Amino acid sequence: MGTRTRGFANNITSPSGVFDATDLNGVVPATNIANSSLTNVTEVSPSLGFSITSVASDPPAPSEGQMWYNTTSNTLKGYLNVASNSWAAGGNLNTARQHLAGAGTQTSALAFSGFATAPSTATEEYDGTSWTTVNSMNTARYSLGGCGTQTAALGFGGYSTTNLSSTEKWNGTSWTSNPTGLGTARYSIRGFGTQTAAIAAAGATYPPTVLYNLTESFNGTSWTSVNALNNTKAGGAAAGIQTAGLYFGGSGPVSPLTQTESWNGTSWTAVNTMNTARQSLAGAGTQTASLAFGGGPPTGLSSTELWDGTSWTSNPTGLATARQTLAGAGTQPAALAFGGSTGDGGLNNTEEWTGTALATRTITAS
């Protein structure tokens, strides 16, 4: 254990009588301390190194791998993920495709539209094991934006033979065309939020190719232009809710991108970049706990990264099938990847991500 320099009990009894610990000077040898555990230690010896700080309360926004000693609870703590994060095979889509959209959770997901041999209207539901074909979208399209849940999803924008602004709502049974669409028709658009409170960001039009930094907010009835992204881009990934979102990766004037931008409900702020530049990727999660996976170019990536609200960390293992132009759903601890392409034609592969979100953990002997 080393030496202990504080926390002497008052009224230590000795053969010569009673005296106060404040009268002592110097260091009591560790051999004279009966309890050599960390219980009730009130100060960590400098011999443990300068990387572990003593604090009265846990840091509000620690970084992965950071460790500290909490002097209030007398415990050694760290911000880390002790789980072995990994991807495992799930049930295949009935319609192989790429450039599709997704919504929902790992065990209750929705896949819609995309490109098979042509722009598609196909919609499928996932129950955590297999996909079931349900009623189709009204407008065939690909490279669209999507968000929401399996029973209340939103699909918007995309491309068919032209750039689209049309918006459709899914009620768990069928799609209904919303009377008003996006203010600016575009494809490679990304979104997050719910069917009644959504954000649509970035995108492009063709021909000619024009990249946008536009952001639009949906209130369940109509779209309204709000503050734009800091950079023009398309084909990234997004996660979050209408008032707290994240946009990461994509293609821009120089592609692919590592850029990450955080949305606070009013404006975008550039934050720490991804470790691997990528476009046509997928994502899942929230503004403070996101997952990024896949992407390209040229033929697809398998690499996976975790966002902890401050920075991205590369996971040791990636997707079993490297791919781009795929879709995602779910959360950082439980995500879903489906569809996509390895460079030629669509895929029906589905993979399920299992992990544990980064959290503050007490360090114990076990």
Largest CA distance in the chain: 98
Q: Does the pLDDT of residue 26 top 70, yes or no?
A: no
CATH number (3.10.450.230, 3.40.50.1820, 1.10.3720.10, 2.120.10.80) of 86-357 reads 2.120.10.80
Paired sense of beta strands 359-362 and 75-80, if any: antiparallel
Integer angstrom CA distances of residue 253 from 159, 231, 234, 249, 325: 21, 9, 10, 13, 19
Q: Does the pLDDT of residue 59 top 60, yes or no?
A: yes
How confident is the model over 132-174, as pLDDT tens digits?
999 999 999 999 999 999 999 999 999 999 999 999 999 999 9
How confident is the model over 70-86, as pLDDT tens digits?
999 888 877 765 456 99
Domain range annotation of the chain:
12-80, 86-357
Mean pLDDT of 275-300: 96
Average pLDDT value for the chain: 88
Q: Does the pLDDT of residue 326 top 50, yes or no?
A: yes
Mean pLDDT of 96-119: 98
Instruction: Identify whether the C-beta of residue 103 lies closer than 8 Å to the C-beta of residue 110.
Output: yes
Phi, psi of 47 (to 5 degrees): -65, -15
25-29, 219-223, 234-238, 345-349: least confidently modelled range: 25-29
Mean pLDDT of 97-118: 98
DSSP calls for 322-365: -BBS-EEEE-SSEEEEE--BSSSS-B--EEEEE----EEEE---
Mean pLDDT of 312-319: 95
pLDDT tier for residue 355 given thresholds of 50, 70 and 90:
confident
Q: Is the peptide bond before 208 cis (omega within 30 degrees of 0)?
A: yes
Mean pLDDT of 20-31: 51
Query: pLDDT value at position 43?
Result: 56
Q: Does the pLDDT of residue 321 top 80, yes or no?
A: yes
How confident is the model over 198-226, as pLDDT tens digits?
999 999 999 999 999 999 999 999 999 99
Q: Does the pLDDT of residue 7 top 70, yes or no?
A: no
- Residue 336 identity: L
Q: Does the pLDDT of residue 328 top 70, yes or no?
A: yes
Q: How far is residue 234's CA from residue 195's CA, in Å, rounded to a whole number?
A: 22
Query: pLDDT value at position 80?
Result: 66
pLDDT tier for residue 10 given thresholds of 50, 70 and 90:
very low
